[in-house]
Chain A
Amino acid sequence: MPEPKQSPLAEALVASMDELISRDPRSLTRQNRDEIVAKLRELRAIFERDQAAGKRVGPAKAPKPVITPEDLGL
């Protein structure tokens, strides 16, 4: 089953990250890396929002394993 396309906002975020992560890592500052993390957090929030809204973001939500970690409070 092919994955659905990302939203334009998510695609724009990925594109803006491309430039940063393609740089020589020795030239990246902490601020640059914080920017990467911030963009990835934003991307994750979009993914979670889409998932919560029932938009298909890959296969249906994973069923729980037979024994769940919650059973042990993990």
Chain B
Amino acid sequence: MDAPVNTSFSSWVPAMQLAWDSTSIGLLKECPRKYQLSLYAGWAPRVESVHLRFGIEHHEALAVYDHAKAQGAPHDDALDAALAHVLRSTWDEALGRPWFSDHQQKNRFTLIRTIVWYLEEFRDDPLRTVRLANGKPAVELSFRWTSDMTTPDGEPVLLCGHLDKIATGPDGQTYIVDRKTTGSYLGTDYFSKFSPDNQFTLYSLAGKVVYSQPVAGLVVDAAQIAVSFSRFQRGLVPRHQSVIDEWYTDLQIWLGQAYEYAKRNYWPMNDKSCNNYGGCPFRGICAHAPSIRDEWLKASFVHRTWDPLRVRGDL
């Protein structure tokens, strides 16, 4: 558990992360111990999260559609490309059978239905995907920049992440589009949870810093997945510059704390977060005496590296 698990960590203070994405920052804010176990030590539940798998498959299929459209394919052909992709990517070659999920709302059928219905809903989307200088569509884009923050040892801190899509609206303005899937009802409450929100404030900041054109805002394309239907709602997530500035000030304090934890190689537990989001996967581990936690981790978790510097597209 002592070695740095990926390239985003310092070689000077091995437990100090230098490249931060919204997942890493979010985990640190939620619970430093959860951050340590999942990001630094790289432990992940042995059983794949159906929500994570569903979200990844959904994103990838829509990116296939966007790429096909950017190459001039008509809607039906681009839709077919997305469908062919998701049928293949959810097929288990080794077992010769489809991906199995016993989740009532998130399974292979509802995934395929959601992708096709979403693409039908936004067939004539007023949000046009931006085309990059290299001719590729601005989808699944990795971003990173060196912030003005450094560790006390003088190592620069990078901020990074991945944007689903950059698009131009009919008003000629540029928007960052983020696609979400949820089992929740899509009402005011659903969209209001993104303000404040760590991920979207970082994305708003990234849009301003990294992208060559001013970004007018963030658009959330939400898909509500139910057993018998999928429903879509598009919402705007505004971010005033002063809110972004405040988030950045807070981040400097959070990362200062992370440095102190890394130096001591001790990450305190926030036991008020254990029951959030349906319960922390490490709750059972933290419930055991510290001396036997490693054995429990080895028995119920696997190693998986979350490297925020892994690039997806071009920006």
Chain A contact residues, CB within 8 Å of chain B: 3-6, 10, 14, 17-18, 21-22, 24-26, 28, 30, 33-34, 36-37, 40-41, 43-44, 47, 57-59, 62-69, 71-74
With an 8 A cutoff between CB atoms, is B175 at the interface?
yes
Contact of A25 among B91, B117, B234 (CB under 8 A): B91
5 chain-A/chain-B pairs, Cβ below 8 angstroms: A3-B228, A21-B98, A58-B224, A65-B235, A67-B235
Q: Is the CB of B80 within 8 A of A73?
A: no
Q: How far is the CA of A72 from the CA of B171 in the complex (A)?
A: 7
Output the least CB separation between A63 and chain B (Å): 5
In the complex, per-residue mask of B43-77: 1 if CB is within 8 Å of any chain A CB, else 0: 00000000000000000000000000000000010
Q: Is the CB of B117 within 8 A of A58?
A: no
Q: How far is the CA of A34 from the CA of B77 in the complex (A)?
A: 10
Write the chain B residue with the least CB distance to A28: B87
Identify whether the interface residues of B are mostly helix, strand, loop, or mixed. Answer: mixed
In the complex, per-residue mask of B222-257: 1 if CB is within 8 Å of any chain A CB, else 0: 001011110101111010000000000000000000
Q: A21-B87, A25-B87, A41-B116 given. 5 additional CB < 8 A pairs?
A: A3-B226, A33-B83, A40-B117, A58-B226, A73-B169
Q: Is the CB of A67 within 8 A of B238?
A: yes
With an 8 A cutoff between CB atoms, is B296 at the interface?
no
Q: Is the CB of B188 within 8 A of A66?
A: yes
Residues of A within 8 A of B170 (CB): 73-74
Output the least CB separation between B84 and chain A (Å): 6
Residues of B within 8 A of A68 (CB): 235-236
Q: Is the CB of A21 within 8 A of B117?
A: no
For chain B, residues 86 to 133, give those with C-beta under 8 angstroms from any C-beta of chain A: 87-88, 91, 96, 98, 108-109, 112-113, 116-117, 120, 126-127
4 pairs of A and B residues whose beta carbons are closest in the complex:
A25-B87, A65-B235, A40-B116, A65-B191
A74/B219 contact (C-beta < 8 A), A33-B80, A44-B117 known = yes
Q: Is the CB of B126 within 8 A of A73?
A: yes
Q: Is the CB of A65 within 8 A of B236?
A: yes
Residues of B within 8 A of A69 (CB): 219, 234-236
Chain B contact residues, CB within 8 Å of chain A: 76, 79-80, 83-84, 87-88, 91, 96, 98, 108-109, 112-113, 116-117, 120, 126-127, 169-171, 173, 175, 185-188, 191-192, 216, 219, 224, 226-229, 231, 233-236, 238
Residues of B within 8 A of A30 (CB): 80
Q: How far is the CA of A56 from the CA of B191 in the complex (A)?
A: 23
Write the chain A residue with the least CB distance to B88: A25
Q: Is the CB of B126 within 8 A of A74?
A: yes
A21/B235 contact (C-beta < 8 A), A41-B120, A62-B185, A73-B126 known = no
Q: How far is the CA of A7 from the CA of B235 in the complex (A)?
A: 30
Output the least CB separation between B240 and chain A (Å): 13
A14/B109 contact (C-beta < 8 A), A37-B116, A63-B188 known = yes
Q: Is the CB of B233 within 8 A of A62?
A: yes
Q: How far is the CA of A24 from the CA of B83 in the complex (A)?
A: 13
A72/B236 contact (C-beta < 8 A), A24-B91, A44-B120, A57-B228 known = yes
Write the chain A residue with the least CB distance to B238: A67
Write the chain B residue with the least CB distance to A20: B87
